[in-house]
Amino acid sequence: MRALVVEDEVELAQFLERLLLKIGIVSDTAMTGGEAVDLARSAAYNIAILDRRLPDGDGLGAIAQLRQQTPDLPILMLTALDDVVSRIEGLDAGADDYLTKPFDSGELVARMRALLRRPGLEPELAISVGQIVLNTRDRSFQVHGEPLVLAARELNLLEALVRRANRVVTRTNLVEAVYEVGAEVFPNALDANVSRLRARLRELGADVELTAVRGVGYMLTGAT
Amino acid letter, residue 49? I
Is residue 212 classed as helix, strand or coil in its secondary structure?
strand
Cα separations in angstroms, 2 against 55, 110, 154:
24, 16, 23
pLDDT attached to residue 224: 65
Amino acid letter, residue 180? E
| Half-sphere exposure for 36 (CA within 13 Å, toward CB) | 36
pTM: 0.58
Distance of alpha carbon 46 from the chain centroid = 10
pLDDT attached to residue 6: 95
Q: Which of 41, 35, 36, 42 is nearest to 4 (CA)?
A: 36
- For the sheet containing 47-50, what is the strand order? 26-30, 2-6, 47-50, 75-79, 97-100
Concatenate the DSSP letters of all residues of 155-203 into one string. Answer: HHHHHHHHHTTTSEEEHHHHHHHHS-TT----TTHHHHHHHHHHHHHHH
Segment holding 133, helix H or strand E: strand 132-135
pLDDT attached to residue 127: 83
Residues in the chain: 224
Q: Which domains does the chain have, with CATH numbers?
A: 2-116 (3.40.50.2300), 126-222 (1.10.10.10)
Provide the residue-wise pLDDT of the chain in tens; the chain has 224 residues.
788 999 999 999 999 988 888 887 888 899 999 999 988 887 778 899 999 989 998 889 999 889 888 888 899 999 999 899 999 999 998 999 999 999 999 999 999 989 988 765 455 567 889 999 988 777 889 999 899 999 999 999 998 899 888 889 898 889 888 887 677 888 889 999 999 999 999 999 999 999 999 989 999 999 86
pLDDT attached to residue 120: 55
pLDDT attached to residue 150: 92
